[in-house]
Amino acid sequence: MNESLPTRRLVRRLLFVVVGMFGFGFLLVPIYDVMCQAFGINGKTAGAYTGSQSADAARAVRVQFLATNAAGMRWEFGPLADQLSVHPGASQEIRFVAYNPTDKPMTAQAIPSVSPSRAAAYFHKTECFCFTQQVLQPGERIEMPVRFIVDRDLPADVHNLTLAYTLFDITSRQPPVAVNATSAPAKESLQ
Amino acid sequence: MSAVIDDHGHAAHDHHHGPAKGLSRWLLTTNHKDIGSMYLWFSFCAFLLGGSMAMVIRAELFQPGLQIVQPEFFNQMTTMHGLIMVFGAVMPAFVGLANWMIPLMIGAPDMALPRMNNFSFWLLPAAFGLLVRTLFMEGGGPNFGWTFYAPLSTTYAPESVTFFIFAIHLMGISSIMGAINVVATVLNLRAPGMTLMKMPLFVWTWLITAFLLIAVMPVLAGVVTMMLMDIHFGTSFFSAAGGGDPVLFQHVFWFFGHPEVYIMILPAFGAVSSIIPAFSRKPLFGYTSMVYATGAIAFLSFIVWAHHMFTVGIPLTGELFFMYATMLIAVPTGVKVFNWVSTMWRGSLTFEAPMLFAVAFVILFSIGGFSGLMLAIAPADFQYHDTYFVVAHFHYVLVPGAIFGIFASAYYWLPKWTGHMYDETLAKLHFWMSFIGMNLAFFPMHFVGLAGMPRRIPDYNMMFANFNMVSSVGAFMFGATQLLFLFIVIKCIRGGVPAPAKPWDGAEGLEWSVPSPAPYHTFQTPPDMSDVHEHRKGTGGELTP
């Protein structure tokens, strides 16, 4: 009864737990990213791949390409080929085209996703327009390359891969300043 | 365990006195009974408000097609109904019961932190004032469902979402302070000799609930803070365009959300564990296993959150883990149901209103538990996800679970609170109308859900028309019946047969050792519990008395 000191100490400890759990909520953000990268969850692909592999000519995998505009994005955006047949280990290139039909310069960011998601960890991009942001002047059109390697260790039962890009309008976040897309410095590298 | 009761006669000469007069009594009170009553009344008002929103929903769904409200307003109704019922009705009702009963049950004079207690109550009207006001704002109130998934609640949210975020912050602070108060009271203010294993189960379940609240309400505050930053400060926690991920929202939200559903049911488990023995005239069967089962449920609630998101594309191993962990919860819950049934086994049962609600709780909560097991099966969940089957499931655990638990507690302790017996005939009518109405409303939802009717949509296929009409009739019946409950409570407060200190002959616990109505100050001198045995050890193990 009336043990005011223990009560105060107890309350202090409980408040410490409260603050800790508030922080833990924010800690879940990096934990989630690490888990996604480690296990290829949610179709997330890793950043630029620097290794190289020898081609496995005995095996062919079909890679399909999808391009989607996020809500409100008015660019015309799509791959030059709908699909490619590739040998695991071999380096391949596919080009995407973007065209800004508006009368304003705009900035865009493409977000990749690979499905099936368990194959995401075996899809390596050595070069990708998604690593940087794109700035297009009114009426400007660019071709953007993606170089990728499908890992030789891709599970044997995976015969089809889909690489999907969603293009977001981030003009309000990153006001376009550069005159053309190729000289636009990468302000922020996203996978 | 003879309690020492301060009678008002000799209290005049010192600083202890009765309640202040007028409005300031309620505004400034630090008395656990006053604050408990305010919590209960607040919760009942929120229950009626959230319930009237449910009536709008069911009126719109009475027939296929759009009749009464626009889809935009329908979305606001489903969202606000969920938010108000979860945060405004169920949680404050249990905090109210905790305020009233925990000090009386453990022989404490008040809660450990009475001023904080006052503050945590008065934050609630502010929080819900903010929340309900959004309905009258331009662009309307929150319309993204009570789970407020991003980007619906960020990129596509109405302007009023900021008010919603601050309302969640305020009610979170209120809940956390309430929880800290409960922990401090239970751990520090128990009467001498009242060991942890002598505490009534309501106190035990509330202690564990309080720890759950302290652990997860800050995570809820965190997730709405991230929303706030995404909306106003240009961060990209949940925006894919900036490198964030909307699925992250669901993980963080359900890390809070799953323990939250146990926060809403554990105190009801505790109350029912007091009520069933009282009306079975037998000690509770398996007290110790009840305590451990509650602890096990609380622990498991932290590792099952992703079963709400089986369809977002988590890896197979993840689906399996969350599926089995979820099914594991059935084990401690089964222990509890077994113990309640065993307590009733060969007891001298009588069926006064608290017992009726408690028995209905055991049966109907089990039904809700079984549909939960069906939903836990990951491959089957792809079919059930976002259908009315889910709605049926969580209404079966929340209405006859949490709400019936609150009704049972209210009838059980009303004589202690008011000093009068409630009207048993009307209370039984209230029970049967609620029981029939609730089953009519929610049972057909299982069928339409399995047949594929999606949740949160104001219109539906013709083939669901009959079941939906039955659901609506049941919902109107259940809703209207709650006005009868209001009448019964008011009638009981205003008068009735005077209640003795212990109106239920089978009841146990310190709360029955003080007179009815409980005096404004109780247990100024703590009762001595050292000669009372550890909780019914030796008698709890046998099936026959």
If one compares B439 and A91, the residue with the highest pLDDT of the two is: B439
- Dist. CA B404–CA B414, nearest whole Å: 15
**Residues of chain B with C-beta less than 8 angstroms from the C-beta of A28:** 219, 248, 251-252, 255
Instruction: Read off the pLDDT of residues A113-170 as tens digits, 9 standing for 90 and up.
Output: 888 877 888 888 888 888 888 888 998 999 998 999 998 888 888 899 999 998 988 8
**Residues of chain B with C-beta less than 8 angstroms from the C-beta of A22:** 218-219, 221-222
Domains: count for chain B: 1
Residue A69 distance to chain B (closest CA, Å): 11
Instruction: Read off the pLDDT of residues B433-486 as tens digits, 9 standing for 90 and up.
Output: 999 999 999 999 999 999 999 999 999 999 999 999 999 999 999 999 999 999
Question: In a mutagenesis test of the A interface, which of B247, B311, B524 is the best target, namely the one with the most A β-carbons within 10 Å?
Answer: B247
Quick check: A25 and B223 CB within 8 A?
A: yes
Of A48-52, A184-188, B408-412, which range is least confident? Answer: A184-188
Question: Nearest residue on chain A to B240, judged by CA atoms?
Answer: A111
Whether B1 maps to a domain, the answer reads: no
What is the extent of the structural domain holding B477?
27-191+200-236+244-513
Q: What are the C-alpha distances in Å from B515 to residues A147, B11, B224, B502, B507? A: 82, 17, 46, 8, 14
Residue A31 distance to chain B (closest CA, Å): 10
Instruction: Read off the pLDDT of residues B195-205 as tens digits, 9 standing for 90 and up.
Output: 999 999 999 99
Quick check: B183 and A10 CB within 8 A?
A: yes
**pLDDT given at position B15:** 52
Instruction: Report the catalytic residues of B.
Output: 81, 110, 146, 174-175, 258, 260, 262, 273, 307-308, 333, 336, 455
Question: Nearest residue on chain A to B311, judged by CA atoms?
Answer: A42
Paired strand residues for B217: none
Quick check: A7 and B221 CB within 8 A?
A: no
Whether B139 maps to a domain, the answer reads: yes
Whether B16 maps to a domain, the answer reads: no
Quick check: A21 and B216 CB within 8 A?
A: yes
Whether B405 maps to a domain, the answer reads: yes
Q: What are the C-alpha distances in Å from B387 to residues B46, B82, B86, B446? A: 26, 16, 20, 9
**Residues of chain B with C-beta less than 8 angstroms from the C-beta of A25:** 218-223, 226, 252, 255-256
Whether B336 maps to a domain, the answer reads: yes
Is residue A137 a contact partner of residue A67, using CB atoms and an 8 Å limit?
Answer: no
Residues of B with CB under 8 A from a CB of A: 112-113, 155, 176, 180, 183-184, 187-189, 192, 214-223, 226, 234, 237, 240-243, 245, 247-248, 251-252, 255-256, 312-316, 318, 526
List, as own/partner pairs, every contact residues B367-376 make where C-beta atoms lie below 8 angstroms and the sequence separation is at least 24, other chains included: B367/B396, B368/B393, B368/B394, B368/B395, B368/B396, B368/B397, B368/B398, B368/B400, B368/B401, B369/B330, B369/B333, B369/B337, B369/B397, B371/B396, B371/B446, B372/B326, B372/B397, B373/B327, B373/B330, B375/B307, B376/B307, B376/B323, B376/B326, B376/B327
**Residues of chain B with C-beta less than 8 angstroms from the C-beta of A107:** none
**pLDDT given at position B543:** 39
- Dist. CA B227–CA B221, nearest whole Å: 10
Residue A109 distance to chain B (closest CA, Å): 6
Is residue B19 a contact partner of residue B520, using CB atoms and an 8 Å limit?
Answer: yes
Enumerate residue ranges in chain B where pLDDT < 70: 1-17, 533-545
**Residues of chain A with C-beta less than 8 angstroms from the C-beta of B234:** 173
Residue B215 distance to chain A (closest CA, Å): 6
Quick check: B216 and A7 CB within 8 A?
A: no
**Residues of chain A with C-beta less than 8 angstroms from the C-beta of B240:** 70, 111, 166, 168
Q: Does this complex have an ipTM over 0.95?
A: no
**pLDDT given at position A179:** 53
A-to-B residue pairs, Cβ atoms closer than 8 angstroms: 106
**pLDDT given at position B10:** 44
Order of strands, edge to edge, in the sheet holding A141-150? A76-79, A91-99, A141-150, A123-127
Instruction: Give the pLDDT band (50/70/90) at residue A16.
Output: very high
Amino acid at A59: R
Q: What CATH number is given to the structural domain containing B232?
A: 1.20.210.10
